[in-house]
């Protein structure tokens, strides 16, 4: 069972969600929500209440992966999203009241005695409400141009005390249909979910509670292809981060690559489907739109290599599909993100780095940072490997030469003899920062000179980044540290994943496993939050995040494999 106050109720492939409105203070009610169109203010469709003898009554919410049950002393109501666009409801001894959001509806009209159509044009969606058993009572007065209010009661018959109803999404013309029985629909959903869990990565038994959360969050956050979304897409959350960002998707792809490779490939490629002719990838995308004001760091070569290491799914055909998009993405950074033409690419905004408000940006932008060069060194190396596999030998040599040349420039430009630093583009002024982002070059492993690698590892061990719970994104003793400062302190899943990978690549397997243990223990206790307080381990911001879930599963698998080797 999960906490509905933190984890929304939904299912694979659906935009339908039941959850709280997290902008409301206190013990807010549950809402039926439609998460289309990104972080929009019209996501709430109906407030959900239980009703008994004409009065609203309190309830306790019990959330399982396949069903949401609202319990009261007088009876209960159960909700199951039996198909992506179909929410079925049944109750015993109580009714379900749905209260529309004021001013959000254009009309509500009866279609048949047991059916009403509700038009929610601000959401670009219509809803068909159908009573299967019991009564459907709708109060929706039309004033001038719209329904100013709408109240829908699904009520049990007085003698039977049972009710069944359906809420179905549609966009244009509704096609009448029959529905499976609630029990049958629920059984099918449960089987789908159990199949997903069976394909979820194996992790140590002590993290089983975390695995249950991670499996449910990832399964329930997938939406169907629609509009801008060319493939099934795993959203970051169905709370309020209802988009996909162009590095978040890489971590979700990695967690799926071993046991669900088709869906993993969809996650990797969905942004390349939208790629601009310049080579740029959008910052984020949802079913309606993509944002082009920013982008995210080029970790896609690193991701692709980690994917093909897991199985043989990434065939020559797949490599051919991704090669030119990855070339264009790499060249975009090298061509358009180097204003001072010094051969060192830059971030024009913190959002482009993924570390939105990191202290490397506190003096302004553009900023040259060693993490960006490190990603591109690896990405060009991966391009060389792909070109070689595809028989493009001249291109393979070119990319390997460019990778090595950037590595040499990066070390000369950023290493000050003791640590990597970030610099303002143009002036090359060193930026005062104690951000963990300056240690991301660990992902280069033994490509770095031994003395540099040794110093980076030593700092991770002793400088103070590694707390009881994991790697803080800003040194806790830094004057810029904030316990809930987004990228100025909290522990994040993607940075943990990159640094664990870097430690392994640097021959520091024991330390990597220690970091993984800390993260998995924290996430099992505090949930799959967007990020965590580095000093208490408590979850911060969005409490049900997919890249956290995916990284938890990947790191858990590493720990499980290590335990198997010991046995």
The 3 state secondary structure assigned to 361-375 is HCCCCCEECHHHHHH
Containing H/E element for 116?
strand 115-120
Give the distance between the most distant pair of CA atoms in the chain.
83
Question: What's residue 27's pLDDT?
Answer: 77
Six token digits for residue 342: 């010094």
Give me the residues of the chain with pLDDT under 70, please. Answer: 26, 40-42, 102-104, 567
Containing H/E element for 119?
strand 115-120
Question: What's residue 565's pLDDT?
Answer: 82
Tally of CB atoms within 10 A around 3: 12
Find out whether the peptide bond into 366 is cis, omega within 30 degrees of 0: yes
What is the spatial distance between Cα 67 and Cα 186, in angstroms, rounded to a whole number?
A: 7
Question: What's residue 567's pLDDT?
Answer: 67
Question: What's residue 40's pLDDT?
Answer: 65
Specify whether the backbone of 89 is left (phi greater than 0), alpha (psi in -120 to 50) or beta. beta
Q: What percent of the chain has pLDDT over 70?
A: 98
Q: Indicate the SS3 state at residue 228.
A: coil
DSSP assignment of 186-224: HHHHHHHHHHHHHTSPP--GGGHHHHHHHHHHHHHTEE-
DSSP conformation class of 2: B
* Separation in Å, CA 293 to CA 255, 281, 283, 300, 567: 28, 10, 7, 20, 51
Q: Whose structure tokens read 């996650």?
A: 267
Specify whether the backbone of 318 is left (phi greater than 0), alpha (psi in -120 to 50) or beta. alpha
pLDDT digits (tens, 9 = 90+) for 281-299: 999 999 999 999 999 999 9
Question: Is 106 within 8 Å of 163 (Cβ atoms)?
Answer: no
The structure's pTM equals: 0.97
Distance spanning both ends of the chain, measured CA to CA: 32
């Amino acid at each position: 069972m999960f906490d509905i106050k933190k984890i929304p109720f939904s299912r694979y492939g659906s935009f339908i969600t039941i959850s709280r409105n997290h902008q409301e203070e206190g013990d807010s009610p549950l809402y039926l929500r439609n998460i289309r169109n990104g972080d929009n203010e019209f996501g709430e469709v109906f407030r959900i209440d239980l009703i008994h003898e004409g009065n609203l009554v309190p309830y306790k919410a019990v959330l399982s992966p396949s069903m949401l049950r609202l319990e009261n002393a007088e009876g209960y109501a159960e909700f199951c999203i039996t198909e992506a666009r179909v929410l079925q409801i049944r109750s015993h001894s109580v009714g379900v009241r749905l209260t529309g959001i004021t001013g959000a509806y254009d009309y509500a009209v009866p279609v048949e005695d047991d059916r009403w159509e509700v038009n929610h044009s601000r959401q670009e969606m219509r809803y068909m409400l159908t009573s299967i058993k019991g009564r459907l009572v709708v109060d929706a007065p039309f004033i001038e141009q719209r329904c100013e209010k709408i109240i829908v009661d699904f009520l049990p018959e007085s003698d039977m005390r049972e009710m069944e109803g359906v809420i179905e999404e549609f966009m244009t013309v509704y096609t009448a249909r029959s529905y499976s029985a609630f029990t049958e629909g629920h059984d099918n959903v449960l089987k789908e979910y159990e199949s997903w869990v069976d394909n979820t990565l194996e992790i140590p038994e002590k993290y089983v509670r975390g695995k249950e959360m991670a499996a449910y969050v990832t399964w329930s956050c997938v939406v169907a292809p629609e509009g801008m979304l060319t493939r099934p897409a795993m959203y970051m959350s169905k709370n309020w981060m209802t988009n996909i960002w162009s590095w978040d998707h890489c971590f979700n792809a990695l967690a799926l690559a071993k046991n669900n490779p088709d869906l993993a490939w969809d996650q990797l490629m969905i942004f390349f489907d939208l790629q601009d002719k310049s080579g740029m990838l959008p910052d984020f995308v949802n079913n309606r739109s993509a944002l082009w004001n920013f982008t995210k760091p080029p970790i896609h070569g690193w991701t692709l290599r980690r994917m093909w290491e897991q199985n043989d799914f990434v065939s020559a055909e797949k490599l051919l599909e991704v090669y030119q998009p990855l070339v264009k993405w790499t060249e975009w950074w090298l061509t358009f993100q180097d204003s001072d033409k010094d051969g060192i690419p830059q971030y024009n905004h913190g959002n482009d780095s993924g570390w939105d408000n990191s202290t490397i940006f506190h003096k302004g932008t553009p900023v040259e940072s060693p993490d960006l060069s490190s990603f591109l060194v690896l990405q060009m190396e991966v391009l060389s490997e792909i070109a070689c596999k595809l028989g493009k030998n001249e291109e393979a040599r070119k990319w390997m030469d460019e990778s090595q040349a950037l590595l040499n420039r990066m070390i000369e430009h950023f290493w000050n003899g003791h640590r990597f630093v970030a610099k303002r583009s143009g002036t090359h002024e060193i930026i005062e920062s104690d951000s963990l982002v300056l240690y991301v070059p660990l992902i280069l492993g033994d490509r770095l000179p031994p003395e540099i690698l040794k110093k980076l590892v030593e700092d991770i061990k002793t400088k103070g980044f590694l707390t009881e719970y994991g790697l803080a994104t800003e040194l806790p003793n830094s004057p810029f540290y904030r316990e809930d400062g987004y990228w100025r302190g909290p522990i994040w899943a993607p940075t943990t994943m990159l640094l664990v990978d870097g430690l392994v690549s640097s021959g520091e397997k024991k330390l990597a496993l220690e970091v993984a243990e800390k993260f998995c223990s924290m996430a099992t206790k505090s949930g799959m939050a967007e990020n965590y307080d580095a000093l208490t381990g408590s979850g911060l911001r969005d409490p049900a995040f997919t890249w956290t879930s995916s990284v938890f599963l990947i790191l858990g698998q590493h720990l499980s494999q290590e335990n198997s080797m010991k046995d």
